Amino acid sequence: MGFFNSVEQKIKEGAVVVDVRTMDEYEDEHFPKAINIPVNELSARVAEIGPKDKPVVLYCASGARSAMGARILKALGFSDVVNAGGLYDMPGF
């Protein structure tokens, strides 16, 4: 199974999709059902994501901020975190 398929599978299985871009970027365009928590607010708003054992898929514009977000979540104890890259890397977008 390729990376793209694993991201798609996690989303189908109910992963929380988090857009770590700014609110303006999110409002302009975002993945369906994604929640917006800018990467610089992630630590403070982590409760919005839910249980730490639930799969989380992060994306941003290029993959850099979502990589940072994945590191933050893993450091906070989230066990299943995937950096999906940029918005246009998301399955079906």
pLDDT (tens digit per residue) in 13-61: 999 999 999 999 999 999 999 999 999 999 999 999 999 999 999 999 9
Number of domains in the chain: 1
Model confidence pTM above 0.85: yes
CATH number of the domain where residue 36 is located? 3.40.250.10
DSSP string of 5-66, one letter each residue: HHHHHHHHTTPEEEE-S-HHHHHH---TT-EE--GGGTTTTGGGT--TTS-EEEEESSSHHH
- The answer on pLDDT for 1 being more than 50 is no
Domain containing residue 39: 3-89
pLDDT at residue 3, rounded to an integer? 65
- Active-site residues: which are they? 60
